[in-house]
């Protein structure tokens, strides 16, 4: 059967309806609310795949938080391609700020509006429809096509970390991350380290600072080191055509850490978090050495102070996949066949589940999905139906191409 026949199994109205259904099931995770998680949307997706005749595995990641993993085709010797999406969405914030209700999935002017429309129930629906089209076409694959609807991407990425420990995860050979990137082929993703820096001093009376050591002065010294740290990391990381250079951004400053804040008390500790974004190049120890250096310089400028730091959730290094990878070549051909256009290349400003797949399994990943790159986490989130349909066609053509090798 020709590939054109597979694409003819993609139905726009079905894709739109599926996306709207997914958006209408709120899946904001709230730790203190047992009903606020991915359970309802995961259940919907499981039933959808079962109806379509897929093999389905439910992976219990945490209470109420289940990965849905569905697949067609055999892995027996052939490659395993993952179409990856996450089921959680970030908070809608204040619903009054939205022009359309955040969970109504209104369809207006060729756009679906709502929280998660772009990030990323649209991309997830496109992946489901793509896999469904291949299944319905009856086409035999030279490997296995897996769709993963994973939990907690917006949190600690527990879903993808769990997947990487399971047999079906370990068998993967490549992944398309269906995050909103305007359907560009993103071969690079920035990495992130959240360096939580603790400055230790000695408690004392505010009127007698000479009797203590003020950690807040150490914190000030550390913040003065930030521009230099940023410059050093920019030198360390290679230049990227698609990514902004590394940045170091203080995001949390806190003192005292324990006890009641009081105007006349010098606290014993102060804490800052530095949000450090990286581009491809250096390994973990080289980045850690630069952060060590900034802490040391700050400590040396404040006698009596000690400074240490830890990476919150570990290192997520930047990723880069070479153009010559079979997955990239399959997607370049897939884009041409699906849209009649040349592939556009881009880069992902943040990290995604793909970062974990690349770091843990070492497999090539390409991030490509429908939705404007800057729209995630904003009010008035939307996805263009035309882009959604293109994405489903790209996933279909690229998967067929990749799995016939
Ligand atoms: Zn996302």
Query: For residue 378, how far is its CA from the centre of ligand 1 (angstroms)?
Result: 12
Query: For residue 381, how far is its CA from the centre of ligand 1 (angstroms)?
Result: 12
Task: Tell me which residue of 401, 404, 396 sits closest to 131, measured CA to CA.
Answer: 396
Question: Domain end: 284, 316, 348, which one?
Answer: 316
- In this predicted model, what pLDDT tens digit does every residue of 106-155 receive, in sequence order? 999 999 999 999 999 999 999 999 999 999 999 999 999 999 999 999 99
Same domain for 395 and 287: no
Q: Work out the percent of the chain whose per-residue pLDDT is above 70.
A: 99
Query: For residue 311, how far is its CA from the centre of ligand 1 (angstroms)?
Result: 22
Alpha-carbon span 16 to 382, nearest angstrom:
12
Q: Work out the percent of the chain whose per-residue pLDDT is above 90.
A: 93
| Beta carbons of 85 and 178 less than 8 angstroms apart | yes
- Whether 1 has a pLDDT exceeding 60, the answer reads no
Ion ligand 1 contact residues with beta carbon within 5 A: 119-120, 179
- Whether 76 has a pLDDT exceeding 80, the answer reads no
- In this predicted model, what pLDDT tens digit does every residue of 350-380 receive, in sequence order? 989 999 999 999 999 999 999 999 898 999 9
Average pLDDT over residues 241-254: 95
User: What is each CA distance from 167 to 19, 26, 289, 361, in whole angstroms?
Assistant: 29, 30, 36, 12
Average pLDDT over residues 13-30: 97
Question: Domain end: 277, 299, 316, which one?
Answer: 316
- Read off the tokens for 81: 């391609």
Beta bridge partners of 254: 271
Containing structural domain, residue 216: 191-316
Q: List the CATH number of the domain containing 330.
A: 3.40.630.10
Query: For residue 5, how far is its CA from the centre of ligand 1 (angstroms)?
Result: 31
Categorize the per-residue pLDDT at 405 as very low, low, confident or very high, splitting at 50, 70 and 90.
low
How many separate domains does the chain show?
A: 2
- Whether 5 has a pLDDT exceeding 90, the answer reads no
Same domain for 150 and 36: yes
Same domain for 384 and 270: no
Average pLDDT, the chain: 95
- In this predicted model, what pLDDT tens digit does every residue of 257-292 receive, in sequence order? 999 999 999 999 999 999 999 999 999 999 999 999
Same domain for 177 and 165: yes
Same domain for 296 and 198: yes
Same domain for 124 and 27: yes
Q: List the CATH number of the domain containing 252.
A: 3.30.70.360
What radius of gyration, in Å, describes the C-alpha atoms of the chain? Answer: 24
Query: For residue 119, how far is its CA from the centre of ligand 1 (angstroms)?
Result: 5
Same domain for 108 and 207: no
- Whether 228 has a pLDDT exceeding 50, the answer reads yes
Same domain for 379 and 242: no
pLDDT of residue 75: 72
Alpha-carbon span 250 to 277, nearest angstrom:
11
Same domain for 386 and 338: yes
Query: For residue 213, how far is its CA from the centre of ligand 1 (angstroms)?
Result: 44
Concatenated DSSP letters for 336-386? HHHHSSPPPEEEESS--HHHHHHHHH---EEE--SS-TT-TTSSS-EEEHH
Query: For residue 203, how far is its CA from the centre of ligand 1 (angstroms)?
Result: 43
Same domain for 382 and 330: yes
Same domain for 258 and 338: no
Categorize the per-residue pLDDT at 3 as very low, low, confident or very high, splitting at 50, 70 and 90.
very low
Which element (helix H / strand E) includes 45? Answer: helix 39-52
Measured in whole angstroms, the distance separating CA 199 from the mean position of its chain's CA atoms is: 31
Same domain for 34 and 140: yes
Average pLDDT over residues 304-310: 97
Query: For residue 179, how far is its CA from the centre of ligand 1 (angstroms)?
Result: 5
- Whether 77 has a pLDDT exceeding 90, the answer reads no
Question: Domain end: 316, 332, 354, which one?
Answer: 316
Query: For residue 152, how far is its CA from the centre of ligand 1 (angstroms)?
Result: 10
Average pLDDT over residues 329-356: 96
Query: For residue 370, how far is its CA from the centre of ligand 1 (angstroms)?
Result: 11
């Amino acid at each position: 059967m020709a590939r054109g026949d597979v694409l003819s199994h993609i139905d726009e109205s079905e894709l739109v309806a599926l996306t709207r259904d997914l958006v209408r099931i709120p899946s904001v995770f709230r730790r203190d609310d047992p009903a606020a998680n991915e359970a309802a949307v995961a259940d919907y997706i499981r039933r959808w795949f079962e109806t379509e005749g897929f093999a389905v595995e439910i992976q219990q990641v945490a209470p109420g938080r289940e990965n849905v993993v569905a697949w067609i085709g055999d892995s027996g010797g052939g490659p395993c391609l993952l179409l990856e999406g996450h089921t959680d969405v970030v908070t809608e914030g204040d619903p009054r700020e939205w022009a359309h209700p955040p969970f109504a999935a209104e369809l207006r002017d060729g756009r679906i509006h709502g929280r998660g429309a772009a990030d990323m129930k649209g991309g997830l629906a496109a992946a489901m429809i793509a896999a469904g089209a291949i299944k319905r076409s009856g086409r035999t694959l030279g490997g296995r096509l897996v769709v993963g609807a994973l939990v907690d991407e917006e949190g600690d990425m527990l879903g993808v970390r769990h997947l990487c420990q399971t047999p079906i995860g370990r068998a993967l050979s490549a992944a398309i991350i269906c995050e909103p990137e305007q359907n560009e082929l993103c071969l690079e993703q920035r990495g992130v380290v959240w360096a939580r820096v603790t400055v230790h001093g000695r408690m004392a009376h505010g009127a007698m600072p000479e009797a203590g050591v003020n950690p807040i002065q150490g914190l000030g010294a550390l913040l003065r080191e930030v521009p230099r740290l940023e410059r050093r990391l920019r030198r360390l990381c290679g230049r990227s055509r698609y990514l902004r250079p590394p940045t170091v951004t203080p995001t949390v400053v806190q003192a005292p850490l324990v006890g009641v804040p009081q105007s006349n008390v010098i606290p014993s500790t102060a804490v800052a978090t530095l949000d450090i974004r990286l581009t491809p190049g250096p390994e973990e120890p080289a980045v850690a050495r630069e952060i060590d250096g900034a802490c040391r310089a700050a400590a040396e400028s404040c006698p009596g102070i000690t400074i240490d730091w830890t990476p919150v959730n570990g290192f997520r290094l930047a990723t880069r996949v070479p153009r010559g990878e079979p997955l990239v070549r399959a997607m370049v051909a897939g884009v041409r066949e699906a849209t009649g256009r040349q592939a556009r290349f881009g880069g992902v400003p943040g990290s995604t589940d793909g970062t974990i797949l690349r770091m843990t399994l070492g497999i090539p990943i390409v991030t490509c999905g429908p939705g404007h790159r800057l729209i995630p986490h904003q009010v008035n989130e939307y996805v263009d139906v035309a882009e959604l349909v293109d994405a489903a066609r790209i996933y279909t053509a690229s998967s067929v191409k990749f799995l016939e090798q």
